[in-house]
Amino acid sequence: GNPVLAISYHPDGRSIATGCDDHTARIWSLATGEQSGEPFSLNGRATAVRYTAGGNALLVGGIEDTEVNYYDTNTRNSLFLPLPHPAGVSQIASNPSGSLVVTVTNDGVARLWRMPTTSQPPPKWLPDYLRALGGLSFSAEQRLSEVPIRERLALRKKLLDLPRDSSVWSSIMRSSLQQ
């Protein structure tokens, strides 16, 4: 097998995460010794891994990749954009809620990151918002395509006509569309 470079216990004590020399991070069941699910792929060796206190997310950093990825442990999807670093990442820690992350790089610098948090699910209008603002959408075949300008303008009008409320999502949407 490939050498293990980092390890983190899951808060429930039933599994561990390993960072490996083969550019992956893996979750292992302590009861069976078997790998749980597919590995997380990186662009370099995984030299730092850390579960959040709730165990629902795994932070993974590397030497060559110089980024820290914040993954959902159930879906294996990235929860946020990677946290960029000027040097390889050697250590990661987070507060109990996962809203603060501290990273240490090989140049000896510690960095504090605030992670966005919300208890609300994404709003139903989010796909329209992304199509209207970015001008791109995915087809049923998962191909990226450009949204025609008329459709983008119609989507913007539809979104701006939504009832006003105090949610953070609506304020972000309105401020970015009213340009």
d(CA 39, CA 94): 22
Domain range enclosing 173: 126-177
Would you state the torsion angle of the CA atoms of residues 120, 121, 123, 124, taken in this order, to the nearest 10 degrees? Answer: -150
Do 95 and 112 contact (CB within 8 A), yes or no?
no
pLDDT digits (tens, 9 = 90+) for 113-167: 888 765 555 566 666 666 666 666 655 555 667 778 888 788 777 777 766 554 5
User: For helices 149-160 and 126-134, what crossing angle results, to 10°?
Assistant: 130
pLDDT of 168 above 50: no
Do 92 and 118 contact (CB within 8 A), yes or no?
no
* pLDDT value of position 141: 57
* pLDDT value of position 61: 94
Are residues 32 and 91 located together in one domain of the fold?
Answer: yes
Give the Å distances, CA to CA, from 129 to 5, 71, 116.
41, 24, 19
Give the Å distances, CA to CA, from 80 to 22, 31, 54, 58.
23, 31, 17, 12
Kindly report the CATH number assigned to the domain that includes residue 72: 2.130.10.10
Structural tokens at position 59: 């932070």
pLDDT of 169 above 50: no
Are residues 35 and 103 located together in one domain of the fold?
Answer: yes
pLDDT digits (tens, 9 = 90+) for 1-57: 679 999 999 999 999 999 999 999 999 999 999 999 999 988 899 999 999 888 888
How many structural domains comprise the chain?
2
* pLDDT value of position 45: 92
**Sorting pLDDT into bands at 50, 70 and 90, what band is 179?**
very low
pLDDT digits (tens, 9 = 90+) for 46-101: 999 999 888 888 999 988 878 899 888 988 888 877 888 899 999 998 887 778 88
Are residues 90 and 13 located together in one domain of the fold?
Answer: yes
d(CA 77, CA 86): 24
Whether residue 70 lies inside any domain: the answer is yes
How close are the terminal C-alpha atoms of the chain, in Å? 55
